[in-house]
């Protein structure tokens, strides 16, 4: 092997040294059956969404794979270290595809278990958040990056599903705590890892916090804020000054469009007459609509009576 070829082959390994040398531990071991539960539940959510949007079987499979494995794929593509879960776990893709096919052909059986699916869905979000944060911790990333990777893994699949459907992602809309619960769970896992607590305990705490926040938001109808106006918290004197400035700016903006005022003694009387004519016309149109509705109702009743007489005969 020539020197140039050796340098090219060794370049990726050299670039990975600063990150992998910061590894603090091995990845947390999650039982395969727990991974399968999370994959199946997320796949059910994607397949049911495909049914609601009138997609075909291919669309249902694609949405199921996105919901169940899209968050992990987004995490792995962002970190670019270690293995890719969707390629490294041989049963992940078949489980998602099989679940999508079953839900597509028999949706009524699955849809009846909506409460169980909702509970298992937020459980899967918590589990994904823990594993996402854990992978970033293993490769020595900063805590904020670890929490972000937990967030991506937990809710990234649903976000990609909504993006593929061409709609605003659910996690960005005003709703009960969902993405916030995933962020809080990933933060708890990172705190436990920083404190030297067992990673298994951290996973349990992450899932518990995620599910607990979600339940509290549903129980007490806690919604994520959409509109904030911090000027209301400003002291009164400053608030008056801000209000006066806003009024002055508004007056300046409207000044060029203002028309010269012309005082006419008969202006108010003409305006009242126009309002009166509009009101009378509106009343007459409403009466006409009521008369038409009454006539249609009478016709329907007569038709039903004639049909009933035919049946009696």
- The sign of the dihedral angle between the CA atoms of 60, 65, 68, 72 is negative
Share of the chain above pLDDT 70, in %: 78
Helix (H, G, I), strand (E, B) or coil at 92: helix
Instruction: Give the per-residue pLDDT at 254.
Output: 59
Query: What is the rounded average pLDDT for all residues in the chain?
Result: 82
Residues 158-194 have pLDDT tens digits of 999 999 999 999 889 888 899 999 999 999 999 999 9
Q: What is the C-alpha separation between 42 and 44, in angstroms, rounded?
A: 5
Under the banding of pLDDT at 50, 70 and 90, the label for residue 312 is: low
- The DSSP-derived string for 101-122 is HHHHH-HHHHHTTHHHHHHHHH
The answer to whether 177 touches 124, Cβ cutoff 8 Å, is no
Q: Where are the domains of the chain?
A: 25-219, 285-313
Q: What is the C-alpha separation between 274 and 270, in angstroms, rounded?
A: 6
Q: What is the C-alpha separation between 151 and 136, in angstroms, rounded?
A: 12
Under the banding of pLDDT at 50, 70 and 90, the label for residue 95 is: very high
Look at 25-29, 75-79, 147-151, 159-163 and tell me which has the smallest mean pLDDT: 25-29
pTM of the model: 0.66
Residues 265-305 have pLDDT tens digits of 555 777 777 888 888 888 888 888 888 888 888 888 888 87
Residues 227-277 have pLDDT tens digits of 766 666 655 555 566 566 666 666 666 555 544 444 455 557 777 778 888
Residues 107-135 have pLDDT tens digits of 887 877 888 888 899 999 999 999 999 99
4: left (phi over 0), alpha (psi -120 to 50) or beta: alpha
Share of the chain above pLDDT 90, in %: 49
What are the structure tokens assigned to 308, written together?
């009933």
Per-residue pLDDT at 15 exceeds 50: no
Q: In the beta sheet, which residues pair with residue 176?
A: 223
Collect contacts of 7-10 with beta carbons under 8 A, ≥24 apart. none
Among 176, 158, 175, residue whose Cα is nearest residue 167: 158
More confident residue, 14 or 201: 201
Segment (H or E) for 137: helix 114-138
Per-residue pLDDT at 22 exceeds 60: no
Helix (H, G, I), strand (E, B) or coil at 239: helix
Per-residue pLDDT at 1 exceeds 60: no
Q: What is the C-alpha separation between 52 and 162, in angstroms, rounded?
A: 13
Per-residue pLDDT at 152 exceeds 90: yes
Look at 79-93, 175-189, 205-219, 284-298 and tell me which has the smallest mean pLDDT: 284-298
Under the banding of pLDDT at 50, 70 and 90, the label for residue 19 is: very low
Under the banding of pLDDT at 50, 70 and 90, the label for residue 81 is: very high
């Amino acid at each position: 092997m020539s020197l140039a070829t050796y340098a090219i082959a060794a370049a990726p390994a050299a670039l990975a040294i600063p990150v992998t040398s910061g590894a603090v531990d091995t990845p947390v071991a999650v039982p395969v059956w727990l991974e399968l539960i999370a994959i199946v539940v997320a796949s059910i959510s994607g397949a049911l969404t495909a049914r609601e949007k009138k997609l075909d079987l291919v669309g249902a499979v694609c949405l199921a794979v996105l919901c169940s494995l899209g968050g992990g794929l987004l995490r792995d593509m962002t970190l670019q270290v270690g293995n890719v879960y969707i390629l490294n776990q041989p049963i992940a893709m078949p489980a998602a595809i099989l679940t999508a096919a079953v839900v597509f052909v028999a949706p009524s059986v699955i849809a009846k278990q909506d409460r169980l699916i909702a509970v298992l869905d937020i459980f899967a979000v918590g589990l994904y958040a823990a594993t996402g944060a854990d992978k970033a911790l293993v490769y020595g990333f900063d805590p904020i990056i670890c929490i972000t990777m937990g967030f991506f893994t937990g809710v990234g699949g649903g976000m990609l599903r909504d993006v593929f459907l061409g709609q605003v992602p659910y996690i960005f809309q005003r709703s009960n705590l969902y993405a916030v619960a995933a962020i809080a769970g990933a933060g708890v896992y990172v705190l436990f890892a920083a404190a030297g607590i067992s990673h298994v305990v951290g996973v349990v705490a992450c899932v518990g916090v995620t599910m607990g926040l979600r339940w509290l938001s549903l129980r007490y109808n806690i919604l994520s804020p959409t509109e904030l106006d911090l000027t209301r918290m400003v002291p009164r004197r400053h608030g008056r000054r801000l209000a006066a400035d806003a009024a002055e700016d508004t007056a300046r903006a409207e000044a060029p469009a203002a028309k010269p005022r012309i005082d006419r003694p008969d202006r108010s009387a003409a305006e009242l007459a126009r309002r009166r004519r509009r009101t009378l016309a509106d009343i007459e149109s409403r009466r006409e609509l009521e008369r038409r509705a009454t006539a249609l109702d009478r016709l329907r009743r007569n038709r039903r009576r004639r049909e009933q007489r035919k049946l009696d005969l």
